[in-house]
Chain A
């Protein structure tokens, strides 16, 4: 196999994975939009920070603060999907400070102005809390700020950002399992056997050029969609409307693959049906027609490769595809 053919086979596979992984990512986004996973994960993380068993659930109270409760969301029963550190810090200081007002904690009159008042309230409330780690943290934040409101906010922002960094990591780890599941669904649904595809691409120059020549068009056509994956399913649409949209995207992608004659799906002449066909002699291709241990093994391995590849998600494959396209166009010039 010459280097050019090898490159084209790989490029073709990347194009196929890129297109199919859009479906995986879309299914995942669809699920996330129905279940508001992002909002829930964020709230759960804030509860680990702010729900104090010895005192109150300050995450809940933070969410009832107008700075947070007025954030855009699907409806009143959805958590906002994201809170900025610059929103969190003042909202949290005010949530704690307002409790001092609610509980009518006495305050000296000379402390009643500007941000100093807010900081005093913050301290007053923290001081009367039952002993807890959160209480210690709040009092420490207040001491370190040393009367400087901006410093108090800065510490809270840092604290929030650090927590959110670990949250993002945790969130991605959780998403990986879901993507794996949807990779599995698409692989089975479309009978995506990577080994077979690679072999066909290597043997069939028409299919190879057909797919690889699409690389630029696919990149240009679908990159914007991949970039805006999170916004693919409008929050104000019903599930049926969003499902219809998914169906539309699905057809668009399948049209691309069909027009390049990529062998996907199930037919009497394809693995695994062909193994059980009575007149396999008549089928022209001799490709893994026989039911043997080796063929079954290759088939399952091909499916497994597809499943893991697709579960990397569309952003990964489009990133790779754009690199290939750059190499290809660069190579063309030299």
Chain B
């Protein structure tokens, strides 16, 4: 079995100013909020005390999430998840994450990504095929020729199996500076895992609209794919609805980075990559219960698709399905979506469709601990009558092996 989506970074690699909570951050998502708490000494202390005392049962869930995030080494996080997979002979895709640029002060105290990677590389050296580390790329860290050299140097060690990008931290996946990554992945037929949900953890610095720009340069400038994206950026910029302040906030703005259609220019240009639009849009989109977060449904549709096109609006889940049908290099995973068992019937329907061979099993450890523990998520999935034994095998064995 391969779990194609887990994180084992700990609080050392989260920026220190992550707590400087702005209101939109709190409204953003639970993950965001609790990661912020995790990054502050006082927050850690408070939640740990609450959790350790088991005074509030509901807090215990978060305390477990925090407790794991507070483990002193990434190795300990890996050992922790592996306990839930006893007897299943499981390997893990380790998605590293560069969070040095997610806030204004992320680089305070020096960059943290190389230390995170050094430990991951050491784990890979020791554990071999137990783990498949994916290298986290951020164009603000390195771009162009420097990125190219860095990637080649990292690949020479043989420790990395793919790339991880998290655009909501403040960049577009088609960002021109990422060209070396896409070309390297295409030439070597490598997997790239991204993050494809509305909201979630996002950029929390002050200059989000500078990062968004107006007509960002693309690895594939073909207007057929870029024009709709530029128009969406313009709609977000011009938005004048009653909740204007909210749209200016980072949580909404960062959806511009995450939007599935940002990947079309890439999928067209790089046919040999394996691009995983992780989370299948998120449980809410799968259930067509889009999170409107202070906006009306019409406003959201207008923002995504433009005035007069509201009828053409479809959820990100549907959009990803269409893209997968259209582009054979487009994959997805069901991590964190799996945590909500209500999504099972819809996911099961996907497994009976032609795109079933590009859907991956993953759990999004340790993020999912905010809602359910790893064993419960795994058990719910393995025992679910919605999926046949063959479908389950396809998700966690056949597809995942073809992916990594």
Contacts and interface: CB of A to CB of B under 8 A. Distances in A.
Interface stretch (B20-28, B108-116, B295-303): B108-116
Nearest to A54: B110
Contact of B52 (A52, A61, A79, A239): A239
Contact of B12 (A35, A54, A57): A57
Contact of A61 (B71, B119, B157): B119
Contact of A104 (B74, B112, B157): B157
A240 interface: yes
B76 A102 contact: no
B72 A64 contact: yes
Contacts of A133: none
A2 interface: no
Contacts of A312: none
A57 B122 contact: no
A42 B11 CA distance: 18
B73 A64 contact: yes
A35 B42 CA distance: 10
A99 B118 contact: yes
Interface string A227-250: 000000000001110000000000
A61 B70 contact: no
A156 B156 CA distance: 32
Contacts of B12: 57, 60
B188 interface: no
Given A102-B122, A238-B52, A76 B71 contact: yes
- Give the size category of B's interface with A: 20 to 34
A98 B110 contact: no
Nearest to B114: A56
A280 interface: no
Nearest to A39: B72
Contact of B67 (A51, A64, A77): A77
A77 B77 CA distance: 11
A98 B123 CA distance: 11
Interface in A39-67: 51-57, 60-61, 63-64
A75 B110 CA distance: 28
Contacts of A35: 45
A102 B125 contact: yes
A293 interface: no
Contact of A55 (B72, B114, B157): B114
Interface centre among B49, B72, B75, B76 (most CB of A within 10 A): B72
Contacts of A64: 72-75, 119
Given A57-B115, A60-B115, A240-B53, A69 B73 contact: yes
B219 interface: no
A102 B73 CA distance: 17
Given A35-B45, A102-B125, A239-B53, A51 B73 contact: no
Interface centre among B71, B73, B112, B125 (most CB of A within 10 A): B73
Given A64-B74, A69-B73, A101 B115 contact: no
13 contacts: A53-B111, A56-B114, A57-B112, A60-B12, A64-B119, A69-B72, A76-B67, A77-B72, A99-B118, A99-B122, A102-B118, A238-B53, A239-B53
Nearest 6 A/B pairs, CB to CB: A77-B70, A53-B110, A64-B73, A57-B115, A56-B115, A76-B71
Given A69-B72, A239-B49, 18 more contacts: A34-B49, A51-B109, A52-B110, A56-B115, A63-B72, A63-B73, A75-B67, A76-B70, A76-B72, A77-B71, A98-B122, A99-B118, A101-B125, A102-B121, A102-B122, A103-B121, A239-B52, A240-B53
